[in-house]
């Protein structure tokens, strides 16, 4: 059975590695022909002003950027909660507890399936920083980064950034690029704007400009983990695997739970024949992003290397359930048929 499987593994492997990047796949609504929105996961960390993890039971609300409640959650031990969204878009994460000031953050599930939000609890009795309350209302969506408010972004630049987000969410790439470029011209030290400009260029398949934008974002904010992850995924597309590994490892160092980074680094290891290193990362990615069809193909290929035919069959079947008309569907169906025959013997 293992010999038979190995004959068909290589073509599927090559096909998997040449498939669209994580962001491009999500940009097509979860895959060619699937007709499903991609969505993703928003991880929320509530903390006290001194940096300690927040308490259990804090009410957190998720809203659409254009208005309207999406979901509600309460923090668990350590001040954490999570939202799983079935649609892409721009959202607001908000805390409105009676003993604390209202705090909110903008976050996008557009080109990345994972977003990270840190919200600081601000006691109502603490008015020493009222004048800077705007910074509390625009807390960054990536742990360890600086908020837009803290950066002192001019209002006109922030407005262009928000217009760019809306255009990118609507898949209007020329308009998105125009607005993000305006934002960077109005405020040159705007790492998030450069990062989103890179996302727009990436979806437009202008890889050199995307790479330059991601690198500029990192230059301006070396702790912006998502920019490293985006750059690493781009390096995977161009088959520059050493550069991909470096960027993705840095992204994971800054955001250890970033499932998108784990998926991309698993691809890097798989492409460089380091499948034992890829295995745990691919497993984590599938657990965190069960609707990411291509991750199931990657894990299935790894299961074949592990001589786990039943496990491989399960993952290939999951891909077909998620994307019956996807780009890899013909090759995956062939694998399913061969594995089913081999297992029936």
Q: Which residue has the tokens 């990536």?
A: 142
For 186-211, what is each residue's pLDDT tens digit?
999 999 899 999 999 998 999 999 99
Q: Which tokens belong to 146? A: 């600086």
Give the least confident one: 142-146, 281-285, 320-324, 339-343.
Answer: 142-146
pLDDT band with cut points at 50, 70 and 90 for residue 66:
low
pLDDT band with cut points at 50, 70 and 90 for residue 136:
very low
The stretch 49-78 carries a mean pLDDT of 80
Per-residue pLDDT at 127: 43
In this predicted structure, the answer to whether residue 245 has a pLDDT above a threshold of 80 is yes
Q: What percent of the chain has pLDDT over 90?
A: 41
Per-residue pLDDT at 91: 85
69-74 and 114-121 beta bridge pairing? unpaired
Cβ contacts of 169 within 8 Å, gap of 6 or more: 88, 89, 90, 108, 110
Q: Which residue has the tokens 């039971």?
A: 57
pLDDT band with cut points at 50, 70 and 90 for residue 78:
confident
Per-residue pLDDT at 111: 66
Euclidean distance between CA atoms 339 and 85, whole angstroms? 34
The stretch 146-174 carries a mean pLDDT of 77
Give the least confident one: 71-85, 175-189, 312-326.
Answer: 71-85
Q: Could you tell me the domains of the chain?
A: 2-37+153-344 (1.25.40.10), 40-141 (2.60.40.10)
The stretch 139-163 carries a mean pLDDT of 62
Helices (H) and strands (E) in the chain, counts: 15, 7
Give the least confident one: 73-77, 113-117, 165-169.
Answer: 113-117
Q: Which tokens belong to 143? A: 């742990």
Query: What are the DSSP E strand ranges found in the chain?
Result: 40-48, 59-64, 69-74, 80-85, 89-95, 103-109, 114-121
pLDDT band with cut points at 50, 70 and 90 for residue 317:
very high
Per-residue pLDDT at 33: 40
The mean of the pLDDT values for the chain is 79
The stretch 303-309 carries a mean pLDDT of 95
Single pTM value for the model:
0.66
Residue predicted with more confidence, 308 or 106: 308
Per-residue pLDDT at 215: 96
For 4-54, what is each residue's pLDDT tens digit?
444 444 444 444 444 433 333 333 334 434 444 467 888 888 887 766 778
Half-sphere exposure of 110 (CA within 13 A, CB side): 28
Residue pair 215/235 in contact (Cβ under 8 Å)? The answer is: no
In this predicted structure, the answer to whether residue 143 has a pLDDT above a threshold of 50 is no
In this predicted structure, the answer to whether residue 144 has a pLDDT above a threshold of 50 is no
Q: Which tokens belong to 339? A: 């594995």
Residue predicted with more confidence, 216 or 34: 216
The stretch 60-88 carries a mean pLDDT of 81
Q: Which tokens belong to 254? A: 């800054």
Per-residue pLDDT at 208: 96
């Amino acid at each position: 059975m293992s010999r038979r499987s190995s004959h068909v593994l290589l073509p599927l492997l090559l096909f998997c590695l040449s498939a669209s990047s994580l962001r491009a796949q999500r940009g097509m609504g979860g895959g060619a022909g699937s007709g499903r929105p991609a969505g993703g996961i928003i991880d929320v960390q509530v903390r006290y002003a001194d940096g300690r993890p927040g308490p259990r039971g804090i009410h957190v609300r998720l809203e659409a950027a254009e208005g309207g409640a999406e979901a509600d959650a309460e923090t668990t031990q350590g001040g954490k909660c999570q939202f799983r969204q079935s649609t892409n878009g721009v959202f607001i994460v908000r805390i409105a507890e009676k003993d604390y000031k209202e705090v909110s953050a903008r976050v996008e599930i557009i080109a990345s399936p994972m977003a990270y939000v840190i919200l600081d609890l601000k006691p109502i009795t603490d008015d020493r920083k009222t004048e800077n309350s705007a910074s509390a209302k625009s807390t960054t969506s990536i742990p360890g980064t600086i908020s837009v408010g803290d950066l002192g972004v001019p209002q006109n630049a922030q407005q262009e950034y928000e217009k760019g987000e809306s255009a990118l969410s609507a898949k209007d790439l020329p308009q998105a690029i125009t607005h993000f470029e305006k934002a960077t011209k109005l405020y040159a030290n705007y790492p998030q704007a450069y990062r989103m400009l890179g996302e727009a260029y990436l979806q437009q398949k202008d890889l050199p400009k995307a790479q330059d934008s991601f690198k500029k974002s990192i230059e301006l904010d070396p702790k912006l983990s998502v920019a490293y992850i985006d750059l690493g995924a781009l390096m995977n597309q161009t088959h520059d695997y050493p550069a991909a590994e470096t960027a993705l490892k840095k992204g994971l160092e800054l955001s250890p739970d970033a499932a998108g980074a784990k998926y991309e680094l698993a691809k890097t290891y798989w492409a460089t024949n380091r499948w034992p290193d890829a295995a745990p990362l691919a497993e984590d990615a599938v657990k965190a992003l069960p609707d990411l069809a291509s991750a199931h193909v990657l894990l299935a290929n790894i299961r074949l290397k592990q001589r786990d035919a039943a496990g491989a069959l399960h993952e290939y079947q999951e891909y077909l359930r998620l994307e019956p008309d996807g780009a890899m569907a013909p090759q995956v169906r062939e694998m399913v048929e061969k594995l089913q025959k081999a297992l029936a013997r």
